[in-house]
Structure 1
């Protein structure tokens, strides 16, 4: 079986370090980790007998030989907050070669502050989405949902607020003076009068880093398509971005459905009109 893919490293024990099996078909492979195991994900688990897992040790026994030669993916998630959080292995049957014991050394390191902040931001977004879904299934007399109905911000059958992670799909302008670390798009649909065009309430939340020497505060936002302005969203920022500091900015507006479904460009400028961030390929779920 092959070594793992990823920042962890492994060492196979010499063939003579374990007793020989009757055949490679029934011989187990033992993974010994220097870190505790939180959970294991095994692709094509039916190709193996039940996995034996005990703290930092994992034993796999092939159930039968693979005729296709296709590797099975084994992902091990480690306990604790150190990085890397997981390691992935490619398990491949071979008629003559077998790793009976594999020692895996994690070489763990503490999370960088930006890694922790980004992870916490994503976890918070997921938590809020779960909480909203929970509220939607409860008694409609609940306060927050009732207020949305009363203000025409939600209707029967409406899925409510939804979001998508745009962090990997956006494009960045080379003129940006701020660093973009994460981008989330939000959308909910207010009540639409009969015969009216659907209008979305949309928002873009950006987690930014200020690499400069002066604080930065967003004063104006624009949404454009093909260089033409579509609208100027309102901007909210909890506090100025300190030099070498991180924070987030939210731009919110209403758009006709046909506009919200397209690809837009969002620009953020400070009070002097200096561009801080421009991101393309912005769309709403």
Structure 2
């Protein structure tokens, strides 16, 4: 019996056995090294006259089998552009070895360039993400949980804002005075602050007239002042001191508008004081940011 064995050897490439079946010849191929089962070599479809470009997510060093046969081999820091040989035969395989990454953390990857007569993968994207699939799933779950927490916090903030809006709409007038205990059976007492008790006329800020008020927990004064300087005046700090030099706590100042030059305007001050406190003559001082201001002695609250 005569046994004949015929083997065809390619002049420059690998043995030609049969057309490749693993090379899909997609327009673009994405390879994730950490998520793809290890193989001897990833197959990449190439064809004479058609360019195939590799894009890596790290710097690369390339070793291409039969590089001199290729019409073009252009390598960048993390890219590789190949124009295969014109004599490439169907099914021929050429090895491409890539050292991916820096010297501290390198990974060797092998590709098999598989010849196809008229189809090629134009771009190959290679990622070496070191995280496992479980790690990626865990990260995704954490991001989803964080986003849910943010949505919950946003909803709670909206609820609080709505409650504040309702509360603000209901605030004002006698309702607040009753709710805060500022008004009681003693009512709010009022007393005019006499002009003759006050201020040297040479001051740039002078006193015109005012009113004093007392509730169960605070005393307040609305004073009308004249600004004889050339600049607007706004009270920023102040103090209310009794005859013994003790300063009342919790002083608050309200001035809706600056007092223009050669004009008058009002300033309202309020300080903590029970009905037994803040008695006798008190001294009110008010200053702006430049320390310009007025000292008003002899204030007697009701």
TM-score interval, smaller chain: 0.3 to 0.5
TM-score, length basis structure 1: 0.42
TM-score, length basis structure 2: 0.39
